[in-house]
Structure 1
Amino acid sequence: MTTPDWLKPGIYGAVGGAVLVAIIGFSWGGWMTGSSADTMASERAHNDVITAMIPVCVGLSRADPAREAQLASIRDVAAYRQRDAVMATGWATMPGADAPSRDLAQACIAELDLEAS
């Protein structure tokens, strides 16, 4: 089938416009793929869970009879090892979990520092 000459510029314009709209939409329009949206939702949910568990971590630290000694040992280690020190105390272990959470330990450090000052 042959395409009339007067129709070719319209077809090229439609294809070019569709490509341009897609480029602008994904670059500046806020469009995203389904996998990107799933990743963003998963990260947001994880962060919300960590935020919700901070009071549990602080509560466990307050209930610990060796709290002052534990806090002193956490403050004595280098800043990059404080997260491991909090994890060693058991305060960063979520209820029902077998192992402590690194992200919860980091968030708990920030809350414990606020509490101590």
Structure 2
Amino acid sequence: MSISEKLSNFQPSKAVLLWSCAACVVATMVVGFTWGGWVTGGSAQERAEAASEQAVAQLAAEICVNRYLAAPDARANLVALTEESSFRRSGVLEDGGWVTFAGREDPIDGAAKLCARQLAEIDVTTLPDASPMAEVAAPLAETPTVQ
């Protein structure tokens, strides 16, 4: 009797069918969670929270860079910042309030490090003595508030 004849005459029992289905379910789950990118609800929530925190830090870092370069003494501040060690730069930005925004007591997590990295990449020699951003920011600072 050949193998094809044996397979065509094979009559599995209910127990064999049940265990075959269970093995297929387990194999599908293993493949899905390891290589298929499936995640549990808890880990999906953790990933979403981490992504949102990272997005907020990136936005805050962009605002920090713009505010830093808009300061009247941006060139001098940038020279002083680049003279600091790379480990101390984010602390300088946090202490200076560059990543602490209105309505918050604490700086935004991770923003100072990103801001310091972006500011360190700026060539100080390309900045004018008086920042052109300061001319734009000055009228905004002088705008009277409505009470």
Shorter-normalised TM range:
0.7 to 0.9
Identity %: 25
Q: Match for 2:37: what amino acid?
A: G
Looking at both structures, which has the greater relative contact order when contacts are Cα pairs under 8 Å and sequence separation is at least 6?
2
- Choose from 111, 116, 127 the match for 1:109: 116
- Choose from 7, 11, 14 the match for 1:7: 14
Deviation per CA, 1:46-84: give whole Å up to 9, x if none. Answer: 111122223321232134345444333322222111111
Note the aligned Cα RMSD (angstroms).
2.0
TM-score by length of 1: 0.81
Residue in 2 that maps onto 1:89: 96
Residue in 2 that maps onto 1:53: 60
Q: Which has the higher helix share?
A: 1
Residue in 2 that maps onto 1:100: 107
**Within 2, Cα distance between the matches of 1:19 and 1:104?**
43
- Choose from 10, 13, 18 the match for 2:25: 18
Relative distance call for 1:111 and 1:95 in structure 2 (3 A) is farther
Unaligned 5+ residue runs, structure 1? none
Contact 2:60 2:108 in 1 (8 A): no
Relative distance call for 1:88 and 1:72 in structure 2 (3 A) is farther
Aligned residues: 113
Select between 27-36 and 64-73 the one with higher mean Cα deviation.
64-73
**Within 2, Cα distance between the matches of 1:98 and 1:116?**
32
Secondary structure at the residue paired with 2:87? helix
